[in-house]
Structure 1
Amino acid sequence: MTAPLRLTDRKRQAIVAAAITEFRANGFEVTSMDKIAATAGVSKRTVYNHFPSKEELFAEILHQLWASTVAQLDVGYTRERPLREQLRELLEAKMKMMSDANFLDLARVAIAATIHSPERAQDMVNRLSQREEGFTLWVRAAQEDGRLRGSDPAFAAHQIQSLLKAFAFWPQITLGQPPLDATSQANVIESAIDLFLAGYEIPLSPQP
C-alpha cells in the first residue's frame, strides 16, 4: 500500500501544478512567484522554501518532463527478431508517451518558456537528445549487425522519430489538436516503419 504524501510533499506538488497552469496561461516571463503561490493556495514563503527562484521551479517542471520519458524506447536490438516487430515496439512506446496529456502539458510549458531564452532552448534540446539515445543505440546495433544501411545511427533514429512527431506531437503542441485515436496512431506507426525500412533495411540473403 502506498504511503500518503507528507504535507510538505503535497504542497510541493501543488506549487509545480500551479506553475504549469500559470506558465501555460501567461508565459514564463510574465508569471510571478506571487501568482504561483496564490494559485497553489500557499504562502510565497512556502514557494521559496521549495524553489529559491522561478528558474529552479522551471527546472523542476523540465525534470518531470524528462522523467515521464524514462520508460520509453527501452527495447534492445535482438538479431533473432524481425526488424519491423522491434521497430513497432519502439514506436508504440514513443507514441504512448506523446499521447499522454501530462507529457503534452509539460512540453507546451517547456517550449513556450524557451522561446525567449536561447540558453533554455539549447538545454531542452540537449536533454531530449539524451532521452532519445535508446533509439539511436538500437539503430547502431542493427547497422553493426548488417541489417540496416547507413553510417549515422543518430540521423536515422531522428528521421523515424520525426515521422511520428509530425503527426502526434507538433500538431498537438502548436495547434492544440487532440491526440491521435488508436487507429490513426497505428497507421502513422506502420507508415513510418514502411518508409524507414524502405530506405535502410538490408534484405537478408536467402538461405542455401
Structure 2
Amino acid sequence: MNKVVPTYHQRVAEEKRALIVAAATALFLELGYDRTSLAKIAECSGVSRATLFKQFPSKAALFDAIVTESWSTADEEDPPPAGNVVDGLSVIGRRYAQLLGRAQMTDLFRIVIAELPRFPELAHAQFSRGKMPCFESVRSYLLAEHEAGTVRIEDADLAATQFLGMISNYVFWPALLVPDWEVSAERVAQVVDEAVRTTAARYAVNGPGASAGD
C-alpha cells in the first residue's frame, strides 16, 4: 500500500499541532484544566493564537485531541485474524501494554482525575474516545474467535475486561500511583503472556492455542 507523502505545509501543520498538544498537556498538569487558557497554550507552544484557534476552536476540542492521540497506535493496526486465540491475544496484549507504557498516558489520567469534580466531561471524553475504542477492538476480536469456533464466550464484554485488566493492573495503575514504579520490558512480556494463557485456558474450545481447524 502506497503512503501519501505529506506536503511541506502539511508537515508544518502537523509539527505545530504536536507542539500545541505537548504544551497543553504540560500546562493542564501544572496549572489545571480550568486555569489554562488557549492564549497561554499558544504562547507556550510558540504558535500564533490564530493558528491554535484554527486547529482547536475550544479547550474541549483540544482535550479531545489529546485523548484521541494518546490512545491511538502509530499505524492504527488492524486486528489479528481469527484462528488462533493465543497468537491473536499475544499481538493485542503487547500493543495494549505498549500503549499504556507511554508517558503521556499517565499524564492524561492524572489530568482527568484532578479535574473530575469540576469537569466530569473530561472523564467522559477519556472513556468514550480513549478507553472504549480500545476495549471494543478486543471485544470484537474475541467475538470473531467465537464465530471461528476457537473459543466459547458467553459474555464478550466480561472476557475483554478480564484480559485488559490483567495487563493494566500490573503495567499501568501502579505507575499512576507510585512515582518510582518501573516495569522492565521482560516483565511486561511476562505479564502479557500470563494474561494470554489465563484467557486461553478459560475460553479456548480445544485447549490453549486451539485453531479453527482443530
Residue number in structure 1 paired with 2:169: 166
Per-residue deviation, residues 111-156 of structure 1 (Å, max 9, x unmatched): 5455533333223222221233221122112223443233111210
How far off its partner does 1:190 sit?
1.9
Residue number in structure 1 paired with 2:134: 131
Q: What letter is aligned with 1:139?
A: L
Matched, 1:11 2:16: yes
* TM-score, scaled relative to structure 2: 0.77
70 and 154 in structure 1: CA distance in 2 versus 1, 3 angstrom threshold: farther
Contact 1:148 1:201 in 2 (8 A): yes
Contact 1:115 1:121 in 2 (8 A): no
167 and 73 in structure 1: CA distance in 2 versus 1, 3 angstrom threshold: farther
Give 3-state SS (helix, strand or coil) of 1:76's partner.
coil
Report % sequence identity: 28
Matches within 5 A, 1:1-208: 4=8, 7-68=12-73, 71=76, 74-78=79-83, 81=84, 83-110=85-112, 112-114=114-116, 116-127=118-129, 128-178=131-181, 180-203=183-206
Per-residue deviation, residues 10-37 of structure 1 (Å, max 9, x unmatched): 4333222211110122221222223223
Taking only aligned residues, the RMSD between alpha carbons, in angstroms, comes to 3.0
How far off its partner does 1:169 sit?
1.7
In the aligned structure 2, how far is the partner of 1:89 from the partner of 1:7?
34
15 and 151 in structure 1: CA distance in 2 versus 1, 3 angstrom threshold: same
Q: Return 5+ residue gaps in structure 2 as ranges.
A: none
- Higher-RCO chain (CA-CA 8 Å, sequence separation at least 6): 2
161 and 3 in structure 1: CA distance in 2 versus 1, 3 angstrom threshold: same
Q: What letter is aligned with 1:27?
A: G
In the aligned structure 2, how far is the partner of 1:54 from the partner of 1:29?
9
In the aligned structure 1, how far is the partner of 2:134 from the partner of 2:117?
21
57 and 11 in structure 1: CA distance in 2 versus 1, 3 angstrom threshold: same
Contact 1:171 1:177 in 2 (8 A): no
